[in-house]
Amino acid sequence: MNTPNRNDIGVRTTADGTHISVWAPTAEIVQCKVEDLETLIALDRGEYGYWETNTNAIKTGDRYRFVVDGETYPDPASYSQPDGVHGASQVVDLSFPWTDAAYKVPAMKDLIIYELHVGTFTATHDFKGVIGKLPYLKKLGINAIEIMPIGQFPGERNWGYDGVFPFAVQDSYGGPKAFQELVNAAHAIDIAIILDVVYNHFGPEGNYAPNFGPYFTDKYGTPWGSAINFDDAYSHGVRDFVLANVRMWFADFHVDALRIDAAHALKDWSASHILQDIRRETDNWIETQDRAHYLIVECDLNDTRYLDSLDKNGFAMDGQWVDEFHHALRVAAGGQPDGYYSDFSGVKDLAKALQNAYVYTGQYSEHRKKFFGTETTGVPGERFVVFSQNHDQTGNRMLGERSSMLFSADMQRLMALTVMASPYVPMLFMGEEWSASTPFQYFVHHSDEELVEAVRKGRKEEFKSFQSEGETPDPQAETTFASCVLNWGEVDTGVHQAMLAYYEALISFRKSNSILRQVDRSVLTVQYDEGKSVIVLSYAFEEQLMVGILNFSSSLQSVSLDSAYTWERIWDTSDPAWGGSGPTADLFSGELSVAGATGVFFQRL
């Protein structure tokens, strides 16, 4: 199909002036109105619903809106919304003096990911605050930052999933230039940038896209509103829009990877699924630049088609979040098996997750009321991303409690070890590494009072059975947001300092251990004792043998290892260096006693 160059979507400055392109397939007249000017710029109707022109009547810094059949709206492909979601769009020159030509993103198996929310990561609530913490993250051992969505959303306080301008970098975070500065600074110290993007829905406030064309379809629904139109009439323009967004993050912002939110909610029965087209768009960019870029999906379907190659009609994503690993780990650690956790039974399921990534591989799920999942045979461990905390699993609790509020320091260290010793790609959630005491709650900053009240009511209804635990925090209140901002003063004090020392050492252990850094499921054998709540991990790589013992019970448990060998302790979560009550024996042969909520690793001498 001979469609316009999707790199030209929006208002782009060029050496010869400014190119304007907007998709409005059913409009009769489309014009561009520059703020404070009386003259309207006429656009020419092109093929497939595009309206375009080249002009010198608008330049970098100008604010503008489109006039569609007499009605005025901001640009759905705006690169900047300096006055918020209801204000005019602004022309931005996305050129930048990049100094990262020599940077190479690590291989997937070598990533140590750190998820953060820009607004609550530091007291400045912006990209400059993140730049200031890059040396800290480097010292911690992080080599990839995953940033929650930054597409323009209403107000200044939001998780980012209510964005309505996917091309515009949130103005309260600093806007596009500040984000480019962050990426460049991260690359300068060998830290990759993963950006969370939302292609399954738009937020409820400031969504002007439907005024231009059928960006949404009634064929499907999502938990967050109308589904984006990927396969209904006029869907070609919507697909162009998304693919242009993908390319923009790589080309104009040098982002290394995209984490695609709720990929299971991308409703598309086209011959080529939108994820497959995103894969092809990414591959074309990789080939052009000779530089690696990754695509990671959040998906709760336990379906390896998301990871299968294009020649198998898969979606060919490079990685997938594994929520089931998290759920099994939480229950094994003593978390309440309610809600979706009711499908998980502690160390038995955690052992399966450690070996297979998915827990449900075709058996019946009582929570889902159906047979669910598929096997992961042949899928490398580096294709799965695991964690003990993330924004969803923390923030979707009524009070937003972190693990630091729910589990002992001993259990927190054991959970972290389970993630880092898994044959998968590990991810931390900001502040986890020092057992941060601040919550991470749900917050918004809408201007529509009816919408605000609906959000409040929805949150209260969601947690009505938990009211004995206290009042549901008001998501609109600034105090809710403020309570979630990390307190960096904790880092160098008491238990927080000890936990940070533990995480730094644990990440170093993961990186330096010749077996763990293989991220290879085939070298791992997992056994468990449900009665003792103990998991034994046995690793065999080349001539090396290593054993990990994970005791999730609260009491001392005995474990037998092959008495033909002498085993040397190489890791212990109970080491006094980070506040533990141990350590376990340095050397042993045969029977070993391991304290409750403790993880110990031994290598064969």
Provide the annotated active-site residues: 261, 298
Rounded distance, CA 549 to CA 252, Å?
47
Query: Per DSSP, which regions of 26-164 are E strands?
Result: 30-34, 40-42, 44-45, 50-55, 63-68, 71-73, 89-90, 113-116, 144-147, 151-152
Name beta bridge partners: 537. 526, 548
Among 4, 115, 25, 124, which residue's Cα sits nearest to residue 76?
Answer: 25
Rounded distance, CA 121 to CA 456, Å?
24
The CB-side HSE value for 454 (13 A sphere, CA atoms) comes to 8
E strand or H helix at 393: helix 391-395
Q: Is-contact 306 275, C-beta < 8 A?
A: yes
Rama region for 334: left / alpha / beta (φ>0; ψ in -120 to 50; rest) = left
The CB-side HSE value for 321 (13 A sphere, CA atoms) comes to 27
Q: Where are the alpha helices (DSSP H) in 116-229?
A: 118-121, 127-132, 134-140, 175-188
Ramachandran angles phi, psi of 332, nearest 5°:
-60, -35
Q: Is-contact 189 229, C-beta < 8 A?
A: no
Task: Tokens for 390, please give them.
Answer: 């993330």
- 257-260 and 294-297: which strand pairing? parallel
